[in-house]
Amino acid sequence: MRDRRRRRTNGIDPRMMFLLMQLARQISAMPYKPPATLVLMALNFAVHFYQHTLPLGIPQVCLHPAKILSGELKRLVFSAFYHGDDMHVYYNMSSLLWKGAQLEQAMGSEAFIGMSLVLLGLSHSIYVAVAWAMAEVGFYNSMNTCAIGYSAVLFAYKVVLNHASPRWTRIWGFSIPLKYACWAELVLISIMTPNASFIGHLCGILAGLIYVYGYNFVQPTLQSVPRSDGDGRRIRNGRLERNRRNQREREEWELQEALRRSREESG
C-alpha cells in the first residue's frame, strides 16, 4: 500500500513486459499452481493495465478515511486492487504469488479466498480507525490520506504464514525470529521507500495478528491438512514448514527489490 501517485500512461513498458515474462516462467515452473492466487493476481494486473478504461479512477477508490466515514464504503475494497505504477503492482504480485501459493495449498482455495476477504476488510477498517484516532489527537491530515495497493493484505499474509514458526531468519545481517520479520520489514521498507504507507502496512500486520490470535481460524485449518508439496513445505502440528534456504533467499530478494525501487524513484 502506498500513497496515491499519478495515473499510469497507456501501454506496457518494455521492462515491465520482461518482468511479467519472468513471473510467468516462475508460475509455469511451480509444481502446484494455486488457482485462487492466480485469479487475484490476474485481477490486480487487469485493473492496473486497464484502469484508464474503468469508470472509477484512483481518486474515486483510494483509501480515504474521511470519505469512507461519510459513506463511501466501496473504498474499503476497491482501493486494494489499484496500484500507483508498474513496479508497485509487480512487486506486490510477486509477493502475492509467493505467499498465496503457500497459504492456498495449506488451506484450500475456498478457505484462502475467505481469509483474504477477511484480512482485506479488517486491515482497511483498522486503517480508517487509526486515522480517526490520530485526527482526534491533532493529526488532522491523517483523515485525508489517499492510499492504494494490496500491500496491507500481503503483510497480513506474512503474519499468518509465520506466526507459529520456530525458525530464525537474517535481515541485513541481523538474526531475528521469523515470526517477527514482518516488523523489521515494516521499518526497513518505510525507510527505503518513503512514499510507502507505513500506517497501511502496520494495519496489515495488526489484521494478521487479530486473525491469528483473536479469531484463531488459521491453526485448526492448517492442522487439518497433512499434505506436503514438492518444495519441501508441509503441514506439521499446525505449522507451515518451509525450506529454510528458499525462505531466506526470497526474503532477501524482497528487501533488495524494495531498495532498488527506492533508488529508482529517488533518481
Spot the catalytic one: 151, 163, 165, 197.
151
- DSSP, res 71: T
Q: How many CB atoms lie within 10 A of CB 9?
A: 8
Could you tell me the sign of the dihedral formed by the alpha carbons of 84, 87, 88, 94, in that order?
Answer: positive
Active site residue 201: yes
Residue in this structure with the C-alpha cell 475494497, named with its chain if needed: 77
Strand runs labelled E in the chain: 2-3, 147-148, 168-171, 174-177, 234-236, 239-241
Cα–Cα distance, 42 to 72 (Å, whole number): 25
Enter the C-alpha cell of residue 164.
Answer: 507459529
Residues 40, 117 contacting (CB under 8 angstroms): no
Would you give the distance in Å from CA 194 to the centre of its chain? 17
Residues whose CB falls within 8 Å of the CB of residue 233, separated by 6 or more in sequence, listed in order: 102, 105, 240, 241, 242, 243
Cα–Cα distance, 30 to 27 (Å, whole number): 5
Which residues are tagged catalytic?
151, 201
